[in-house]
Amino acid sequence: MSLREFLEMMESKREVLHITDQVSPCFEISAVLQAFAHEPILLFENAEGFDTHVVGNICGTRKRLCSALGVDQENLYYKMIDAWRSPKPPKVVEDAPVKEVTESLNLLRIPVLTHFEKDAGAYITSGVVSARSPDGTIENVSVHRLLVLDETHLAIRLVPRHLFALWKMAKEEKRDLDVAIAIGVHPAVLLAAASSPPFGVSEYGIANVLLDGNLRLVKCESIDAYIPADAELVLEGRISCEKERDEGPLVDIIGTYDIQRKQPIIEVVNIMRRENYIYQAILPGGPEHRLLMGMPKEMMIYEAVSKVVPRVKAVNLTEGGCGWLHAVVSIEKQTDGDAKNALLATFAAHSSLKHAIVVDTDIDIYNPSDVEWAFATRFQGDEDLIIIRNARGSTLDPSADQEGGLTTKMGLDATKPLSKPCEAFEKANLIESQRVKSILERYGKRTRSRL
């Protein structure tokens, strides 16, 4: 199951736009990606100074991610939860397409994008980084931003999570940590790598379930790590246990520049690739970035809230909330306390969350106007507001304590109070006759039965 196979499927659905004009990897490709956000996959066939094609916006819509997993949106969370709960190790093969070419050791020959004007440099943003603990018992697979420093070195942003823990283990033994960086993989691998299973659970096992058991791995040539056999490009390297340098700024998920920090350096020791490989790019702060980071958190919120209320219809980490800081949760409640329990479960499931709103199942949580209408007509500030002060939040939020990570959280219960007649909160319906439907269709308006 490869990126190429997915692209072929999207080509058959006419969801790939081929850009044949010459475009520079420095600022220009990212500007085009931003202009086509929420639209087709973009395949850049003429990256200035390179023979390699560049692809972006692979995971830019929910519909496309559902296609990648072979499910409809209604069953998306069920498939993700099943993979998260019951991962299965992928098959390991001896040879693979990613080993077709051993590339000369020069990172500057890869069309890595420089995205925004104040970025520290060219950043790899779609790199799936795999590593194993020094004793080989724990494997972690995660996505990290990687700053190209020169022909053989990268700086990696290590958030204090699982890869950081493996690096600390290696550092305590005064040894560098072997890492493999796979670029150009099937969306299911990216989605799994962006999830947060318990430490010790390999995200490759999650990806394998998402791909119905069809993920294949192959061992690296020069280091102790495994990679997707059908990846487009792989960098083999070692995270230094001693060498660090300033990393950043780079635009992160909320669309502002993340602060500069001292971060470890990776020495790249080998490069493997497919013939005529495709370089995959993800625009920082774009819809693809937000969906890949947000959807695993939506799944965790869905599962957590399902334990405290009778039914959860859907969860949306909203675009206006950067796909990270704001959540809207649709529930079917039985008592007036259900919504507040749902809010507390929502915050517990996603620690970076800042604001959450719970609505009834008749509200379209993907329509900001519909959510605001529920807030306007079903919320009372003195009864339906929860404030949580000095809680752990996101260090990406510029209004929060970015060093300590503390923030104030707000939960809003915008569900209908059960103490009042249900009819008082219903939207008015129009009657659409067949004649009216025909008129609307003829003039390019989709029919709708509700104002």
pLDDT in tens, the chain (451 residues): 799 999 999 999 999 999 999 999 999 999 999 999 888 999 999 999 999 999 999 999 999 999 999 999 889 999 999 999 999 999 999 999 999 999 899 999 999 999 999 999 999 999 999 999 999 999 999 999 999 999 999 999 998 899 999 999 999 999 999 999 999 999 999 999 999 899 999 999 999 999 999 999 999 999 999 999 999 999 999 999 999 999 999 999 989 998 899 999 999 999 999 999 999 999 999 999 999 999 999 999 999 999 999 999 999 999 999 999 999 999 999 999 999 999 999 999 999 999 999 999 999 999 999 999 999 999 999 999 999 999 999 888 888 887 788 999 999 999 999 988 887 888 888 888 999 889 988 887 765 443 3
Q: Give yes or no: residues 137 and 238 share one domain.
A: yes
User: How far is CA 74 from its chain centroid?
Assistant: 19
Residue with tokens 């809680």: 391
Q: Which bin fits 163, alpha (ψ -120 to 50), beta or left (φ > 0)?
A: alpha
Q: Tell me the pTM.
A: 0.91
Task: Residue 198: give its domain's CATH number.
Answer: 2.30.110.10
102 in any annotated domain: yes
- For residues 398 and 314, membership in a common domain is answered with yes
Residue 278 has, within 13 A of its CA and on its CB side, a CA count of 21
Please tell me the predicted confidence (pLDDT) of residue 446: 62
Residue 302 lies inside a defined structural domain of this protein: no
Question: Which residue matches tokens 């791909």?
Answer: 211
Does 85 reside within a domain? yes
Could you tell me if 431 and 369 lie in one domain?
no
Reply yes or no on whether 252 is catalytic: yes
Query: Are both 375 and 441 inside the same structural domain?
Result: no
Phi, psi of 214 (to 5 degrees): -105, 10
Q: Pick the catalytic residue: 119, 176, 178, 252? A: 252
Residue 53 and residue 193: Cα distance in Å, rounded? 24
Answer for the pair 22, 110: CB distance below 8 angstroms, yes or no.
no
Distance CA 64, CA 74 (A): 14
Q: Are both 69 and 168 inside the same structural domain?
A: yes
Task: Tell me, yes or no, whether 36 lies in a domain.
Answer: yes
Question: Considering only CA atoms, which of 278, 284, 237 is closest in space to residue 123?
Answer: 284
In-domain check, residue 297: no
For the beta carbon of residue 105, count every other beta carbon within 10 angstroms.
13
Question: Structural domain tally of the chain?
Answer: 3
pLDDT at residue number 233: 98
Residue 449, pLDDT score:
42
> 């973009």: which residue's tokens?
42
Q: On the CB side of 56, how many CA atoms lie within 13 Å of its CA?
A: 31
Report the pLDDT value the prediction gives residue 365, as an integer from 0 to 100: 97
Range of the domain at 233: 3-287
- Alpha carbon distance 228, 210 (integer Å): 14
Q: Let me know if residue 299 belongs to a domain.
A: no
pLDDT at 207: 98
Q: What is the pLDDT of residue 213?
A: 96
Domain of residue 317, CATH code: 3.40.1670.10
Q: Are residues 252 and 394 in the same domain?
A: no
Q: What is the pLDDT of residue 450?
A: 37
